[in-house]
C-alpha cells in the first residue's frame, strides 16, 4: 500500500498530470476549506515542505469561500475540516493549483440554513436564540442535541430510536441497537437532494469563471530608422486568479507564461524570440514585453502568448512604414 497504489487513485493522478491546464480543483469529501478560510503561513525554507497555505494564496481561498457560502445561503463561516494526505492537499501542495474542498452536505450546514430561514420569517424574534428552551445552560453534547433536533423536525427516519434486543453473543446482558442510519450525517435527506445539488452547481459554475484569462491589451511600435523598430506588447489577465499561485511557483509545477514572437533570433537587437513573463495577477494585471528588432523585409510579425492555466492568444505586430 502506497500513495496512488490503487487503480482508481492512480487513474485520477494520471489524468491530472496529463492535463496540466487544470487550474481549479474541487473535491467533495471529508475535508473542507470553504466553510471557513484556512490559515496561511509564510514559507520557511525550500527544503521544508509547506504544511499551511502560502500567505500569498490565502486571499483566493477566502474569496472562493465567500462565493461558496453565498451559493449555499450561509451568512457566516462554519467550522472547517482537514484531511492530511488527501487528494485536495496533493493538488495544492504538490501541483500548486487552487484546490478547494467541501462536504457536499452536513447537519451543521442544514442547521445554519434553518436558522437563517427562521430569521427571515421572524426578523424581530428574540426567542430561542441559543437553540434551547428556558434557562438551560447545559453545554454537554450540544452539537449532537442540535443535530438530533434538526433530524426530528426534518428527517425523522434518519435516526432509529434505541431499543433492547436479545443478542446471542451476550446472553443475559442488556443490548440495545439504534442510532443514525448509514450515511445520514454525510448525505442530505432524499427530499433535499435536488435543492442541495442546485446550490453546488451554482457554486461550481461560478468557480469555473474565476480562472485566469490572458489577452493582449496593447501593441505599440515605433520606427527608429534603418528598418529598426521598437515593439511593446502588453499582456493582461482579465480573469480572477493569477496565472500562477505562489505555491505553483514554489513547486515549479505551473510553468511561467511565455510570449513567442514568430521571428528568427537574428532579427532581435534586444529581447528574444521566447520571453518568459512574470506571474500576471488577476482582475486586470498587466505585464509588458519590449523588443528592438531589425526587420527590413517584414511588415507584419505574428506572436502568441501561452499560459498553462490562462489559455493561449495570438496577435499580429504591424510595423509602421519608415518616415
Give the tens place of pLDDT for each residue, 8-54: 999 999 999 999 999 999 999 999 999 999 999 988 766 778 889 99
Distance CA 186, CA 107 (A): 8
Task: Say how many CA atoms lie within 13 Å of 204 toward its Cβ.
Answer: 13
pTM, entire model: 0.88
Mean pLDDT of the chain: 92
Least Cα distance to 291 among 313, 317, 320 occurs for 317
Distance CA 160, CA 180 (A): 6
What value does the mean pLDDT take over residues 265-294? 97
pLDDT value for 125: 55
pLDDT in tens, 122-157: 766 554 544 444 555 677 888 899 999 999 999 999
What value does the mean pLDDT take over residues 77-105? 92
pLDDT value for 49: 81
Element counts in the chain: helices (H) and strands (E): 7, 14
Distance CA 57, CA 237 (A): 17
* Contact criterion met (CB below 8 Å) for 291 and 265: no
Q: How many angstroms from the chain centroid is the CA of residue 32?
A: 11
121 pLDDT above the threshold of 90: no
Instruction: Name the packing angle between helices 193-208 and 55-72 (round to 10°).
Output: 140
Give percent of the chain with pLDDT exceeding 90: 82
CB neighbours (10 Å) of residue 314?
Answer: 12
pLDDT band at 82 (very low <50, low <70, confident <90, very high): confident
Domains observed in the chain? 7-106 (no CATH), 126-184 (no CATH), 214-318 (2.60.40.10)
Residue 208: strand, helix, or coil: helix
Amino acid at each position: 500500500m502506497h500513495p496512488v497504489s490503487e487503480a482508481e487513485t492512480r487513474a485520477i493522478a494520471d489524468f491530472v498530470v496529463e492535463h496540466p491546464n487544470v487550474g481549479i480543483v474541487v473535491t467533495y469529501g471529508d475535508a473542507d476549506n470553504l466553510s471557513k478560510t484556512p490559515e496561511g503561513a509564510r514559507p520557511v525554507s525550500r527544503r521544508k515542505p509547506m504544511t499551511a497555505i502560502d500567505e500569498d494564496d490565502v486571499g483566493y481561498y477566502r474569496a472562493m469561500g465567500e462565493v461558496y457560502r453565498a451559493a449555499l445561503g450561509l451568512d457566516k463561516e462554519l467550522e472547517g475540516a482537514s484531511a492530511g494526505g488527501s487528494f485536495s492537499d496533493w493538488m495544492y501542495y504538490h501541483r500548486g493549483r487552487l484546490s478547494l474542498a467541501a462536504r457536499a452536505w452536513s447537519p451543521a450546514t442544514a442547521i445554519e440554513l434553518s436558522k437563517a430561514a427562521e430569521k427571515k420569517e421572524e426578523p424581530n424574534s428574540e426567542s430561542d436564540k441559543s437553540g434551547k428552551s428556558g434557562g438551560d445552560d447545559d453545554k454537554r453534547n450540544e452539537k449532537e442535541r442540535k443535530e438530533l433536533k434538526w433530524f426530528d423536525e426534518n428527517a425523522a427516519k434518519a435516526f432509529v430510536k434505541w431499543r433492547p434486543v436479545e443478542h446471542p453473543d451476550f446472553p443475559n446482558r442488556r443490548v440495545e441497537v439504534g442510532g443514525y442510519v448509514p450515511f445520514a450525517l454525510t448525505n442530505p435527506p432524499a427530499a433535499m437532494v435536488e435543492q442541495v445539488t442546485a446550490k453546488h452547481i451554482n457554486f461550481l459554475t461560478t468557480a469555473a469563471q474565476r480562472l485566469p484569462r490572458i489577452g493582449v491589451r496593447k501593441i505599440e511600435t515605433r520606427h527608429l530608422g534603418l528598418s529598426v523598430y521598437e515593439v511593446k506588447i502588453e499582456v493582461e489577465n482579465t480573469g480572477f486568479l493569477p496565472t500562477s499561485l505562489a505555491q505553483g511557483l514554489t513547486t515549479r509545477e505551473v510553468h511561467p507564461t511565455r510570449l513567442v514572437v514568430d521571428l528568427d533570433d537574428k532579427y532581435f537587437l534586444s529581447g528574444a524570440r521566447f520571453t518568459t513573463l512574470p506571474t500576471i495577477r488577476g482582475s486586470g494585471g498587466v505585464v509588458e514585453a519590449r523588443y528592438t528588432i531589425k526587420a527590413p523585409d517584414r511588415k507584419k510579425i505574428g506572436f502568441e502568448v501561452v499560459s498553462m492555466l490562462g489559455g493561449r492568444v495570438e496577435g499580429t505586430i504591424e510595423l509602421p512604414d519608415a518616415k
